[in-house]
């Protein structure tokens, strides 16, 4: 948090969050710090949170304690997207998964067992949308 700035644009911003295995958090944060000068111009605020493992099928925390690195970006899609790609590339060696309800550019692999379940329970794709069609594609 930067004390001399408002914490966000009062709802007028973009967000992304990458979820990393907890054991990779320190190295990942050091890697982000190294590219901080590229991130800073389009960033309102960033926060780090710790999340306990769960056993939910599509959860980014399935079977692993995690650390979430959240970014609240300025509302500048053209400026944010290249920086987000850089952030994702920088964090790639640390096993990140994106928060699916926020911005990301790298598609996560969908578990095969979930893909099969979706095909079996919704063979005609009645509950699908553009996002799930991309996610479930092989």
pLDDT (tens digit per residue) in 21-33? 999 999 999 999 9
For the chain, what are the domain ranges? 1-105, 107-137
Task: Give start and end residues of each alpha helix (H) in 18-126.
Answer: 25-34, 36-39, 77-91, 112-121
pLDDT at 6: 63
**3-class SS of residue 111:** coil
What is the domain class of 1-105 according to CATH? alpha beta
What whole-number distance in Å separates Cα of residue 122 and Cα of residue 117? Answer: 8
Window from 3-17, 51-65, 84-98, 114-128 with minimum mean pLDDT: 3-17
Q: How far is CA 85 from CA 43, 103, 105, in A?
A: 14, 10, 7
Q: Which segments within the chain are labelled E, that is strand?
A: 13-21, 43-51, 66-74, 97-98
**End-to-end Cα spacing for the chain:** 40
19 within 8 A of 64, measured Cβ to Cβ: no
8 within 8 A of 71, measured Cβ to Cβ: no
């Amino acid at each position: 948090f930067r004390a001399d700035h408002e914490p966000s644009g009062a709802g007028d911003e973009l967000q992304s969050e990458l979820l990393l295995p907890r054991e990779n958090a320190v190295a990942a944060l050091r890697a982000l710090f190294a590219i901080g000068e590229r991130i800073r111009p389009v960033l309102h605020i960033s926060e780090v949170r710790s999340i306990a493992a769960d056993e939910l099928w599509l959860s980014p925390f399935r079977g692993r304690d995690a650390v979430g690195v959240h970014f609240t970006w300025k509302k500048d899609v053209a400026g944010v997207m290249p920086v987000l790609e850089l952030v994702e590339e920088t964090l790639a060696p640390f096993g990140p998964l994106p928060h699916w309800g926020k911005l990301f550019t790298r598609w996560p692999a969908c578990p095969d067992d979930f893909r099969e379940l979706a095909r079996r329970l919704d063979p005609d794709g009645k509950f699908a949308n553009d996002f799930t069609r991309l996610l479930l594609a092989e």
